[in-house]
Amino acid sequence: MVSFQSSKFSWSLVAIVGSLLVVVSVVHFFLTPIFPSSLDYFSARFPVRPSIGGESHESLDLNIDFDARFPEDSHGAVTYRGAPWKPEIGKWLSGCDSVSKEIDIVESIGGRSCKNDCSGRGVCNKDRGQCRCFHGYSGEGCSENLQLDCNLPSSPENPYGPWLVSTCPAYCDKTRAMCFCGEGTKYPYRPVAEACGFRLNTPSEPGGPKIADWSKDDLENVYTTNGSRLGWCNVDPAEAYADKVKFKEECDCKYDGRWGRFCETPSECSCINQCSGNGYCRGGACQCDRGWYGIDCSIPSVSSAIKEWPLWLRPSTVEVPDKATLDNDFAGLKAIVKKKRPLIYVYDLPPDFNSHLLEGRHFRFECVNRIYTEKNRTLWTSQLYGSQMALYESLLASSYRTLNGEEADYFFVPVLDSCIITRADDAPHISLREHMGLRSSLALDFYKKAYEYIAHHYPYWNHTSGRDHIWFFAWDEGACYAPKEIWNSMMLVHWGNTNTKHNHSTTAYWGDIWDSIPSARRGNHPCFDPEKDLVLPAWKKPEPGAIWLKLWDRPLKKRTTLFYFNGNLGPAYQNGRPEDTYSMGIRQKLAAEFGSTPNKKGKLGRQNTSNVTVTPLRSSNYFEELASSIFCGVLPGDGWSGRMEDSILQGCVPVIIQDGIFLPYENILNYRSFAVRITEDEIPNLVKILQGINETQVESMLANVRQIWQRFLYLDSILLEANRQRSLFSDEEDWSVEFSKLGEDDVFATFIQLLHYKLHNDPWRRHLNQKKNYGLPKSCLRRTS
């Protein structure tokens, strides 16, 4: 126990000591090793556990002969953990990543306060003493109301302003720019989204769609209490379900957190990591419990219980500061944690770049990989851009995460461009008016502001000119529109266009074109640099049936289709994309040769044959048809498409037809081991090329696909959600059961393995004067020492 000396001291100091004793008591109770039973006056230091064997692993030199121990196979690959890597990477991972040891890392547990405790309108970052304000609030203590309008300025012709998604004739919630019925109605928080509040013109032709007249409201009906009219805001759900009253069918429940035809059933909203069990998800932003902060409430403060700390901070040995550091704004504790490198620091950016984009969504499915049903069960989405949320969540919950920027090897900057672009122009505060109508220009602006923020508020960018920073560009053309200031960094993308052939914007959607962005903003960089960047797989909805049926493991003898491609084939086909530039014309060329479905003129492809399927007709047995094929086409859409993931996940050998464009992991895995590449000019010879691959080679490629297919799954993110659902429900859903059986390396594990390799092999790191313990033998440090 602490014995106080007989000297004068203030009662405020006694209070601080008391709070420290509470912390120490908790530490003593929950941590190993057990702390000393007596503490020095106003100070205590708990012992750091020694390294394994009593010496640093870094002092050992195993004299690894990489070439002799890890030879290349017949395809020129070196296998590590089941994957065929490019030889230099595979050799290093086999010799070094496999023997990496834990090291001691000092993590800071914050204790600072924020002005007015953020006024109940935000979450206090206890490390920096800054508020993360909820949507619609700002200022040092979140005391400022932003008043976010739903409507643009009005005119006599447009009394509610020019159309936006948020355009509202009823009550505008100016904290989020969302439209509701408002006070005075029976259901004031029922959404009046989009066409719901406006008059609808009669279709110009039979069976045609009704067109909203955005200049004329329909409040007379929306607000009616007359059950014989098409009402909404006063319609009782029970009466409507019983057909006792009428309602306006164009009104529905688009916002997150509500279900039922009349939005009568509340549900969980989608938040990052669902607030880690330490907070409440309020429309997309986490309201953290006392003692927690961060975008997902995963960072503990000094007032949290140590037994509840996240796994990436446990087990910990804790240091309590001495008398010299004590003041009314307690700076925090130091926790010594065993970790393996690479260590990643995740910036706690202002919410404008992430949680506000989630909190203000006008459509619940926008830019998230899951939502929740009326029973709060997980409903996975097919949102391909959900990979951005999945990777972010994995990083925040990972043992490779660190709060210590000085020990970090990499810095992740969490800007959610998938939300920026899907929400572009959906409300006046996310306007395209200053961006020539280009969503690409708006997204560039967000990234530029994020760069300016971290360069101004943190010291880490200037240490390396941003070369150890990581940005994720999930949209169709990847990092093509990245601002020039951040191009030194590592870009995570789904579109690896090196611009060696397609040296312009390849999207057929004009709003995403980046060619017209001035070079003063964008610079003249390519879309992708294989020396520093990485193409990651897109998000694919977890399909338990495909796992249960083991479609990825289907043998060659059960694969009867030689080549398969199913997707939009352009303007020659019914319901095809009208632009000739769609898919850079590649899908159109393939269909002209091998189309197996008649086009608008009733014609098949010139070389149509029975064991080749090229069709725009999406099948209800799509996964089964992929799994019944030997080779599957991987062609672009508006930029990247998800065909590579579809092929690999169903065990089909991908055939890549897109010149100068890297596919997922293509700059780190040996694609010759499991894929075929043909040039766009070789499309007429496609069948001959595939028939020329002998059965032994085909079997080898199929076997390698079976080894790597889980590396195209965001399994870590899926299992995080499975664990959350298990904590809430006694029964387990099929997706959780099936995916919990998997255990091979996934997207996140592959990403971490590459970062570990790059940490010791990127040439620019040779010039850094960093004396760190890497937990590796000297032979593995040859590139950075």
CA distance 673 to 454: 41
DSSP 508: S
Nearest to 572 by CA among 597, 544, 537: 597
Chain-centre distance of CA 620, in angstroms? 28
DSSP 493: E
At residue 54, the pLDDT reads 32
CA distance 81 to 66: 16
At residue 782, the pLDDT reads 64
Q: Supply 203's token pair.
A: 């279709």
DSSP 764: G
Q: Name residue, tokens 């920096």.
A: 128
Instruction: For 250-349, list the strands marked E by DSSP.
Output: 258-259, 265-266, 279-282, 285-288, 292-293, 299-300, 316-320, 332-339, 344-346
Nearest to 478 by CA among 569, 367, 385: 385
Q: Supply 91's token pair.
A: 């050799």
DSSP 154: P
> Between the CA atoms of 637, 638, 640 and 641, what dihedral angle is there, to the nearest 10 degrees?
-40
CA distance 84 to 78: 6
The second-level CATH assignment, the architecture, of 544-716 is 3-Layer(aba) Sandwich (3.40)
3-state secondary structure 184-235: CCCCCCCECCHHHHEEEECCCCCCCCCEEEEEEECHHHHCCCCCCCCECCCC
Under DSSP, is residue 396 helix (H, G, I), strand (E, B) or coil?
helix
Pairing between strand 316-320 and 299-300?
unpaired
Measured in degrees and rounded to the nearest 5, phi and psi for residue 367 equal: 55, 20
**In the predicted model, what is the mean pLDDT of the chain?**
90
Q: Where are the domains of the chain?
A: 171-266, 544-716
Cβ 421 vs Cβ 443: under 8 Å: yes
Q: Provide the b/e sequence for 108-133 (b: ≥16 CB within 10 Å).
A: bbbbbebebebbebbbbbbbebbbbb
Residues of the chain with pLDDT under 70: 1-62, 321-331, 782-785
Q: Supply 197's token pair.
A: 């509040």
At residue 311, the pLDDT reads 95
CA distance 126 to 112: 5
- Please write down the long-range contacts of 514-521, taking CB distance under 8 Å and 24 or more positions apart: 514/438, 514/440, 514/441, 514/477, 514/480, 514/481, 516/436, 516/438, 517/438, 517/440, 517/441, 517/444, 517/481, 519/484, 521/441, 521/444, 521/448, 521/483, 521/484
CA distance 367 to 372: 14
Cβ 251 vs Cβ 192: under 8 Å: yes
CA distance 645 to 657: 15
Q: Supply 31's token pair.
A: 């941590």
Q: Name residue, tokens 């690999």.
A: 648
CA distance 638 to 581: 9
CB neighbours of residue 781 within 10 Å: 15
At residue 235, the pLDDT reads 97
